[in-house]
Amino acid sequence: MSIHDQYDFYDALGLAGLVARGETTPEELLDAALARTQALNPAINALVHVVPEVARRRIASGLPDGPFRGVPFLIKDLGVEAVDYPSHNGSRLFANTRYRGNSNLYERLERAGLVVFGRTTAPEGGVGPVTEAAVYGGPTRNPWALDRTPGGSSGGAAAAVAAGIVPAAHGSDGGGSIRIPASSCGLFGLKPTRGRLPDGPFAGEGWAGMAIDGFLTRTVRDTAALLDAVQGPDLGAPYHAPPLRGTFTDALERSPGRLRVAVSTESPAGGRAHDDCRQGVEKTARLLESLGHHVEEAAPDADARAMMRAWTVIVACGTALSVRSRLASLGRPLAPDELEPVALAACRYAESKNGADYLEAVETVHAFGRRVAAFFVDYDVLLTPTLAEPPALVGRFAHRFEDFEAYRLGPEGVFPYSPYTAAANASGQPAASLPLHWNADNLPIGMHLACAFGEDERLVSLSAQLEAACPWFHRRPERESFASNATA
C-alpha cells in the first residue's frame, strides 16, 4: 500500500514514525500533500503561497531530527514571519509582504523537523469568525459542507486539516481564532496560556496580550507534541506563563484527577445556545460525570458584553496601527479597494478613540480577566459550547459591514454567534475546542473547555481522557462530495 493510500490513517506523529522507521520518506509525504492540495484546494480555497521548491530544498539539505521529521505542514497567512514564505496577511494592502528574518516560532517549527510548503488563508487582519478575504479571490469553505464557513481567523488551517491535506497546521487565536475553526471543522484546537509560546522578535504582543499562536490537529497528542516543540518565551517576551510541571506529552498519560466542572449553555450575549450546541454540552456533561468528575451548572459573574466592547476598541486600534505602519513603509496613501469595509470601519472607529480610551479598554479587559480567574478558585473547568450555533453559512459574516461596532456587537454581528471563546483571551487562560458532537446535518459542533491560568497540562490531560472515551479521529468529511479526483 502506497503512502497516498495510508496518509489518512495517521496523525502527524504517526507519519513521523513512518519516516523514522524507513517506511516512507519526507519526499513521499510531501508528494502526497501536494497531490491532495491540487485535488482538494480548488473547492475549499484554503492554501496560498504554495512553494514546493522551498520544501524540497529543505528536505535535500537535511532535516533536523525532531519529533515531526518529514511531516508536511502549513503556517497561517498571518504572523509567523518567515523569509521563504511571503504573506498577504489576509489583505490586498499587505499582499506579498516579505520578511527580513524568521520568527522564533517558525525557527522552532523547523527544528521540530516539519516540512512547511505553504500558508493558509485568514481574514483581513485576523478579524472575524470566518475566512473570506478578498485577496484570495473567494471565500474559504468548510470541507464538511461547502456552503458553510470553516471559521476564522485560522479557517484556512482548519479546512486544510479537515480535508486531509495535512494532519496538523499552525493557527493563532486572539478571540477564538483557533477554537472557532476547530469547532467548525471537527478538529482539536487549544489556545495555550498567555505567554506560553514565543511571539518575537518582530512583535511584542498581539491585541494587548490577548492573541497567541497554536495549532489545529486531529489528535490531542499532536497538539501536545507541537506545543512541547515550540513552548517557552523568547528573548524579551512581555509575558511569561507559569512553568510547566513536566511536558505536554507527559500530560497525555496523566490522569486529570476528579475535577470540579462548571457547565453553562447560557450565552454571555443573551439568551441560550442553539439546540444542537446545548445537546452537545449535555452529552459531554454526562460523559464527564461517567468519568468521575463532579459536574454542576455555573458560570462566571463577569460582564462579557463590556469586555467585548473593550476588545473591539483594542482590535480596532491594532488594525489602524497595522494599516498606518504598512502605508508608512510603502511611502504612499491608501489606494481604493486596498482595504475591505470592516477594516476601513475599524480604522474609522479607532480614529474616534484617544489614548485614554485605549487604556480604559485594556483596564476593562484586565478587570474582566480577574473576575473570570476568581471563578476558577471554586471550579477546575468550565464547559460551554464553542459557538452558540452550528457553523455559519458562507457570506453571513463577510467583511461588508461599514460599522465596526455593529460587526462585532450588533444583533447580526459576531458576538451573538461566538460569545464564549474571547473570555479566555481576555483572562489569558488556556482553553480548547473538542470535536465531541455532530448534529443531524453531520456538521461538527465543538465543545469548549477552559481551565485556570497556567493549567495547560490539566487541560491536555482532560482532553486526552475525553478523546479516549469518545474518539473522533475516524470522523472525516466526504471528500468525494467536493472533489471528484480526491486522493484516497
Residue 442 lies in a domain: yes
CA-CA-CA-CA torsion sign (434, 438, 444, 448): negative
Task: Report the DSSP beta bridge partners of residue 171.
Answer: 214
For the stretch 148-164, what's the b/e string if a residue is b when 16 or more beta carbons lie within 10 angstroms of its beta carbon? bbbbbbbbbbbbbbbbb
pLDDT > 60? residue 154: yes
pLDDT tens readout for residues 76-103: 999 999 999 999 999 999 999 999 999 9
Q: How far, in Å, are 301, 318, 359 from residue 322 at the CA level?
A: 34, 6, 18
Residue 75 lies in a domain: yes
Residue 474 lies in a domain: yes
Residue 487 lies in a domain: no
Residue 327 has which C-alpha cell? 502605508
Average pLDDT over residues 12-16: 98
Give the total number of structural domains in the chain: 1
Vertex 31: Cα angle to 26 and 33 (nearest 5)? 95
* pLDDT at res. 351: 98
Which residues have C-beta within 8 Å of that of residue 211, sequence separation ≥ 6?
A: 126, 172, 173, 174, 177, 205, 425
Residue 249 to residue 93: CA distance in whole angstroms:
41
325: three-class secondary structure by DSSP:
helix
* pLDDT at res. 238: 93
Catalytic residue set:
76, 153, 177
Query: Residue 255's domain is classified under what CATH number?
Result: 3.90.1300.10
* pLDDT at res. 480: 77
Residue 237 has which C-alpha cell? 517576551
Contact 240, 195 (CB under 8 A): yes
Q: What share of the chain is helix, strand, coil (3-state, %, to 5)?
A: 40, 15, 45
First vs last Cα of the chain: how many Å apart?
A: 12
Look at strands 431-438 and 188-191 and give their pairing. Answer: antiparallel
Number of neighbours of residue 374 by Cβ within 10 angstroms:
12
What is the gyration radius of the CA atoms in the chain, in angstroms?
21
- % of residues, the chain, pLDDT over 90: 96
* pLDDT at res. 131: 98
pLDDT > 70? residue 415: yes
Q: How many residues does the chain have?
A: 488
Residue 150 to residue 272: CA distance in whole angstroms:
23
Q: In degrees rounded to 5, what are phi and psi of residue 467?
A: -60, -40
Average pLDDT over residues 315-328: 98
Residue 447 lies in a domain: yes
Residue 301 lies in a domain: yes
* pLDDT at res. 488: 39
Q: How distant is the alpha carbon of residue 407 from its chain centre? A: 20
Residue 488 lies in a domain: no
pLDDT tens readout for residues 260-269: 999 999 999 9
Q: Note if the pTM is more than 0.95.
A: yes
Closest CA relative to residue 140, chosen from 23, 461, 129: 129
Domain hosting 407: range is 3-481
Average pLDDT over residues 202-216: 93
Average pLDDT over residues 424-430: 98
User: 91 exposed, middle or buried (CB, 10 Å; 0-12, 13-18, 19+)?
Assistant: buried
Residue 83 lies in a domain: yes
